[in-house]
Amino acid sequence: MEAPHPLKALIFANGDPNDGPLVRQVLASADAAWIIAADGGARQAAFFGFQPQLVIGDLDSLTAAEVAALEAEGVAIHRAPPEKDETDLELALLHAAAQGVRWIRIISGIGDRIDQSLGNLYLMALPVLAGMDVRLVARNQQTWLMRPGLNPVDGAPGDTLSLLPVGGDAVGIRTDGLHYPLRDETLRFGPARGMSNVLTSPQAQVTLASGLLLAIHTLGRA
């Protein structure tokens, strides 16, 4: 069964569970969220005690018996062709966006393949996700894409925040509530200058004139 116009979605990818305090915090706060599994993410959903309402992908990571069991339990199955341009997680994100979701948390999006993990992070730059609250959560970390404008960061003093430019330089960056301030500065693609800053207040702010920043928020000192 599918929620026709959900506002929140939990999407389980087919990476490692990466269980941890921030994952549990997100799961506890995601009441009334639409539960979507990207192919083998159905197993990760089960690991956390969730039954997906939708499984989407080419289903090459699930056995025929697993798919039949999910269908018997009323889970909607959207089967994609095996030869496709999109990853299963990309299909899940596109489908959720098309249904009007505004808040997405990706669980189990990091695994033992560097290419898949990076690809999952890059998916947050999909144009259809602009203006939505989309974050990938693993263990005690969450990461999301900061676009031009004001970007608040909620946390606690002592938390770690890294800002990494993607797709080129990030220009005109101003920060408040961080130990190492930036004042209309540029973070260039390549150097690691934006790593391991520290929150000095419960909410920091990052203002960006142009470019994209990948924000990685870690509970406590990394």
DSSP letters of 37-60?
Answer: EETTHHHHHHHTT---SEEEE--T
Q: What is the overall mean pLDDT for the chain?
A: 95
For 117-174, what is each residue's pLDDT tens digit?
Answer: 999 999 999 999 999 999 999 999 999 999 999 999 999 999 999 999 999 999 999 9
Domain with CATH 3.40.50.10240 in the chain: 8-139
Contact (CB, 8 A) for 51 and 35: yes
- State how far the alpha carbon of 8 is from the alpha carbons of 33, 36, 139, 193, in Å: 5, 11, 21, 34
CATH superfamily of 8-139: Thiamin pyrophosphokinase, catalytic domain (3.40.50.10240)
* Segment (H or E) for 23: helix 21-29
CATH of 146-218, one of 2.120.10.30, 2.60.120.320, 3.40.50.12780, 3.30.110.40: 2.60.120.320
Domain with CATH 2.60.120.320 in the chain: 146-218
For 189-216, what is each residue's pLDDT tens digit?
Answer: 999 999 999 999 999 999 999 999 999 9
Copy the structure tokens of residue 130: 């602009």
| pTM of the predicted protein model | 0.95
- As a whole number, mean pLDDT of residues 50-73 equals 96
Copy the structure tokens of residue 122: 């890059």
